[in-house]
């Protein structure tokens, strides 16, 4: 909410400055560069790559950085300082340091000039910003920078969402409860508090006594200590594939895959809903996730006498 | 107020999604004295949340560790914790006093996620060290004479982030990104900081600091102004021992 963002079509047709901050789409989002952000011809960007300036901010010389015009090699975990310095320079402040987060001050000044002179800029940020030591505060500062750049030119910011349809989960939670994630229903109404009700924190403090995992794989993504606590209690998994989580589950519901064996809606990383069609029958009359969850809700209501 | 021992024993507590009676988990005893209310809680309560939430008068003494949200949004009275506190201790405090004689978790006196106004008044004192993002979005009011103040031992990173007038005194050392995005307010570190933010600028050296509540701190300090990434001209100040 309140994020200065736009859709991928907008970036494709208008953006002449693309910043990849802490992400490596060449490997993580292979179709992103070709379809929306770098090598694609847009309505106002007829010459494709030549009409765009591409900047990569990353501690490593990634394959995305090798396609860029400018590579800002920031020190690991010091993105916050770089963002902070950029915002100060944008306000016309002279800084005391001559090197910030491993980047010479002159290079940051040049970068600010390029940012201000662009017609339409966009920042794509990935896990290099969200999963390093400053976490959500990096994103806070990046959003502030984007907002402040809009005093000079048009600027947008967009997260590079990782897994398939994570944006969909956020969108559905938001229209149902008002909150995107970390929601607790134990009092009968939704409460939101990341750090208290977020799944990793609940598992770390061992506050759960059972878990239901729908179409996700915490065993390969969560910290080891939290996964140990997850496996201590009854674990139910609704999942079409075999994963490290389903391998240790007490109950596994195999389901039809949306977009192949049943129809459904998925959200693209820019919150655009896409309708998915069914192309083949699911094996052995497999049910869909929605059908299984509805049956579970019916049974729970029956057991609770509602 | 005006409750008998039996009334207190049947008070409702939340245990996950169930409601339980207080008497099942606590032995309750006490006597009626004068009008003052004083509650003493004994035991290790590190999983008990929201004690003293929205408290307005009286005194709570906790002998042991305490869980999250101790004294959050309280408007008056006093809470003393003789042990460690978890996250969100004194979150969005609106008055009163919270004293923790141990360490405290993250988000001490902070605004809950999504709020633009955090701690508005009152005092938090932490003897030991505190976690990250303390005094997030603290806000003073000159007209209403409200000055939120935090005293602590050592502090974690992002101390006083988005500060709008809170006063923070760190008796020991502080970590990174102190006073990030501070619009105005005063932060005093009587020890070392790991590294100052680039948007903070050195203004002068002082040997006496007068806090907004009139308190005077003596000592050789370097004065920085900031955070300049929020405003070009700011009266936000950070003092670090020279």
Residue contact A84–B198, C-beta within 8 A: yes
For domain A166-304, is the CATH number 3.30.413.10? no
Residue ranges for chain B with pLDDT beneath 70: 1, 34
Confidence (pLDDT) at B54:
93
| d(CA B128, nearest CA chain A) in Å | 22
- In the predicted model, residues of chain A with pLDDT beneath 50 are none
Query: Are the Cβ atoms of B199 and A186 closer than 8 angstroms?
Result: no
> For position B118, what pLDDT does the model report?
93
| A148 Cα to chain B: minimum distance (Å) | 10
Residue A194, chain B, CB below 8 Å: the answer is yes
How many Cβ pairs closer than 8 A exist between chain A and B?
73
Confidence (pLDDT) at A298: 95
Are residues B199 and A93, on separate chains, in Cβ contact within 8 Å? yes
Domain ranges in chain A are 8-159, 166-304
Report pLDDT for A2.
73
pLDDT value of position B1: 65
Per-residue confidence (pLDDT) for residue A275, from 0 to 100: 94
Using a CB–CB cutoff of 8 Å, tell me whether A178 touches chain B: no
**What is the SS3 assignment for chain A?**
CCCCCCCHHHHHHHCCEEEEECCCHHHHCHHHHHHHHCCCCCCCCCCHHHHCEEEEECCCCCHHHHHCCEEECCCCCCHHHHHHHHHHHHCCCCCCCCEECCEEHHHHHHHHHHHHHCCEEEEEECHHHHCCCCCHHHHHHHHHHHHHHCCCCEEEEEECCCCCCHHHHHHHHHHHHCCCCCEECCCCCCEECCCCCCHHHHHHCCCCCCEEEECCCHHHHCCHHHHHHHHHCCEEEECCCCCHHHHCCCEEECCCCECCCECEEEECCCCCEEEECCCCCCHHHCCCHHHHHHHHHHHHHHHHCC
Q: Does B170 touch chain A (CB under 8 A)?
A: no
pLDDT, position A304: 87
Distance from CA of B133 to the nearest CA of A (A): 10
State whether residue B180 sits within 8 Å of chain A by CB: yes
pLDDT value, residue B5: 87
* A76 close to B (CB below 8 A): no
pLDDT of residue B208: 93
Predicted confidence at residue B31, as pLDDT, reads 81
Q: For residue A144, what pLDDT is reported?
A: 94
Residue A305 in contact with partner chain B when CB distance is under 8 A: no
The yes or no reply on domain A8-159 and CATH 3.40.228.10 is yes
């Amino acid at each position: 909410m309140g994020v200065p963002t736009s859709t991928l079509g907008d970036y494709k047709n208008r953006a002449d400055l693309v910043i990849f901050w802490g992400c490596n789409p060449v490997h993580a989002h292979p179709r992103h560069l070709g379809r929306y952000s770098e090598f694609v011809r847009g309505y106002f960007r007829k010459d494709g790559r030549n009409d765009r300036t591409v900047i990569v901010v990353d501690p490593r010389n990634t394959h995305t950085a090798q396609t860029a015009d400018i590579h800002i090699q920031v020190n690991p975990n010091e993105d916050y300082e770089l963002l902070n310095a950029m915002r100060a320079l944008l306000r016309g402040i002279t800084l005391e340091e001559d090197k910030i987060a491993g980047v010479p001050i002159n290079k940051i000044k040049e970068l600010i000039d390029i940012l201000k002179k662009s017609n339409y800029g966009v920042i794509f940020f990935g896990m290099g910003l969200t999963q390093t030591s400053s976490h959500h505060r990096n994103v806070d500062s990046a959003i502030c920078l984007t907002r402040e750049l809009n005093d000079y030119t048009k600027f947008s910011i967009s997260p590079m969402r990782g897994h398939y349809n994570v944006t969909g989960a956020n969108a559905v939670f938001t229209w149902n409860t008002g909150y995107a994630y970390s929601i607790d229903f134990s009092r009968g109404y939704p409460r939101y508090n990341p750090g208290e009700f977020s799944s990793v924190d609940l598992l770390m403090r061992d506050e759960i006594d059972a878990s239901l995992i729908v179409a996700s794989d915490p065993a390969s993504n969560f910290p080891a200590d939290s996964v140990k606590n997850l496996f201590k209690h009854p674990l139910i998994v609704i999942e079409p594939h075999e994963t490290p989580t389903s391998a240790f589950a007490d109950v596994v519901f195999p389901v039809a895959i949306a977009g192949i064996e049943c129809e459904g809606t998925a959200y693209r990383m820019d919150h655009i809903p896409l309708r998915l069609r069914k192309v083949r029958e699911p094996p052995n009359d497999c049910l869909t996730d929605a059908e299984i969850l509805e049956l579970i809700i019916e049974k729970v209501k029956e057991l609770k006498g509602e | 107020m005006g409750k008998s021992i039996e009334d207190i024993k049947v008070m409702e507590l939340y245990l996950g999604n169930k409601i339980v009676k207080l008497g099942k988990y606590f032995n309750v005893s006490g006597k009626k004295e004068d009008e003052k209310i004083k509650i003493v809680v004994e035991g290790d309560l590190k999983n008990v949340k929201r004690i003293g939430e929205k408290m307005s008068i009286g005194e709570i003494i906790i002998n042991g560790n305490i869980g999250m949200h101790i004294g959050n949004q309280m408007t008056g009275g006093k809470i003393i914790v003789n042990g460690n506190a978890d996250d969100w201790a004194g979150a969005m405090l609106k008055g009163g006093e919270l004293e923790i004689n141990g360490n405290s978790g993250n988000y001490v006196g902070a605004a809950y996620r999504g709020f633009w106004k955090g701690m508005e008044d009152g005092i938090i004192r932490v003897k030991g060290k505190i976690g990250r993002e303390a005094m997030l979005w603290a806000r003073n009011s000159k007209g209403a004479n409200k000055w939120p103040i935090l005293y602590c031992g050592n502090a974690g990173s992002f101390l006083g982030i988005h500060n709008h007038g809170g006063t923070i005194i760190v008796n020991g050392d502080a970590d990174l990104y102190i006073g990030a995005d501070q619009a105005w307010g005063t932060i005093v570190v009587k020890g070392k900081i790991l590294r100052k933010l680039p948007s903070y600028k050195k203004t002068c050296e002082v040997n006496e600091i007068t806090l907004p509540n009139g308190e005077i701190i003596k000592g050789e300090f370097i004065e920085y102004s900031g955070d300049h990434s929020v405003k070009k001209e700011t009266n936000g100040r950070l003092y670090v021992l020279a």
